[in-house]
Amino acid sequence: MKKIRTGTQKLRCAVIGVGYMGRFHAEKFAASASAELVTVIDTDPARAKETDYKPWLSKIDAACVAVPTQHHFRVVKDCLEAGVHVLVEKPLSRTLEEADALLELARAKTLVLQVGHLQRFNPAFQALAAQGGRPLFIDIERLAPFKARAADVDVVLDLMIHDLDLVLALARAPIEQVSASGFRVLTGAIDIANARIEFADGCIASVSASRVSQSPVRKLRVFRHDAYVSADLQEQRLRHVRKGADGIVESEQVFERADELQAQTEAFLQAVRGRGVPLVSGEQGRQALALALQVGSLVEERLARHGT
């Protein structure tokens, strides 16, 4: 494994894949005082001068992989084999077999493998997750207008996986049962889906996602005994409703606007330097992927039964 720079030396970084998300990642790495963005790489020469990432693997300490999902496994595997720490866009990979192979390789090489579940860095969600009390019911809705750039995967791996990761972070209990439904609308893949997840401690989560809506919607509500919290993740604020001695008490928390992508970048760089573990580790990315694949499989089975 190559020696990681220490002290005030900047980590040599590359962004592989500079499409929609990759461009934003490149901006954050370039802006970081802890990183030196030595190159950006894309197979499309109109996006980047460098089109082959392999010659650069011996020259960098860490890479952000933002290529299309079907290429995640190959590119991340090449990086890890070369001793390069990796921040990979969600989902971690296409299959659990691929995910397990990447996790095993990262462990064997003692490398950071972090998955880009961005909402974990939202200050409103972090405050919500830090609250005590067992959740009884979690309700999440994520609706978005159709974007052709994300049509390489279905809505479960495109959008819902974000919220499945949030549910797993909040519930913190084994899953007992999953049921799901969904439909194809504008593409040959699932465009709208709903999942019901039942946990061993009695918590239930309802997660809905659509990529064929007219207006974006992102709602998250968590119900606990005697209280519930409504999170506006876009505006980064929480609304609390509690049962008090004299009746219902309402309050609101508004957080200073945070750059979630920059926070994710800095957390990755700190983990590479050995200053803690990633907030969203490869193992957690694998858990979200496993649940997403289960939901997608259940939807496909239901569609097949009904001939749709």
CATH number for the domain including 19?
Answer: 3.40.50.720
Cis status of the peptide bond prior to 123, with omega within 30 of 0: no
131 and 155 together in one domain: yes
155 and 58 together in one domain: no
| Cα gap 99→109, rounded to integer Å | 15
Question: Residue 293 to residues 78, 185, 221, 296: CA-CA distances in angstroms?
Answer: 24, 20, 24, 5
- With respect to residue 105, please indicate whether it lies within any of the assigned structural domains: yes
pTM, two decimal places: 0.93
113 and 78 together in one domain: yes
107 and 130 together in one domain: no
Render pLDDT for 121-173 as a digit per residue (tens, 0 to 9). 999 999 999 987 899 999 999 999 988 765 678 999 999 999 999 999 999 89
- With respect to residue 131, please indicate whether it lies within any of the assigned structural domains: yes
Render pLDDT for 51-76 as a digit per residue (tens, 0 to 9). 999 999 999 999 999 999 999 999 99
Count of residues for the chain? 308
DSSP 103-117: HHHHHHHT--EEEE-
* Angle 211-214-220 from CA coordinates, rounded to 5°: 65
SS3 letters across 202-237: CCEEEEEEECCCCCCEEEEEEEECCEEEEEECCCCE
Q: Residue 151 has what pLDDT?
A: 65
73 and 135 together in one domain: no
- With respect to residue 5, please indicate whether it lies within any of the assigned structural domains: no
- With respect to residue 1, please indicate whether it lies within any of the assigned structural domains: no
110 and 217 together in one domain: no
Q: Count of domains in the chain?
A: 2
- With respect to residue 284, please indicate whether it lies within any of the assigned structural domains: no
The 10 Å Cβ neighbour count of residue 108 is 11
Domain that holds residue 204: 123-257+292-305
182 and 201 together in one domain: yes
Render pLDDT for 203-255 as a digit per residue (tens, 0 to 9). 999 999 999 988 888 889 999 988 999 999 888 999 999 988 888 999 999 99
- With respect to residue 174, please indicate whether it lies within any of the assigned structural domains: yes
Q: Side by side, which strands form the sheet with 35-41? A: 35-41, 11-16, 62-65, 85-89, 113-116
- With respect to residue 77, please indicate whether it lies within any of the assigned structural domains: yes
Q: At residue 263, what is the residue type?
A: A
- With respect to residue 287, please indicate whether it lies within any of the assigned structural domains: no
CATH number at residue 140: 3.30.360.10
Dihedral (Cα; 82, 86, 90, 94), 10-degree rounding: 20
179 and 130 together in one domain: yes
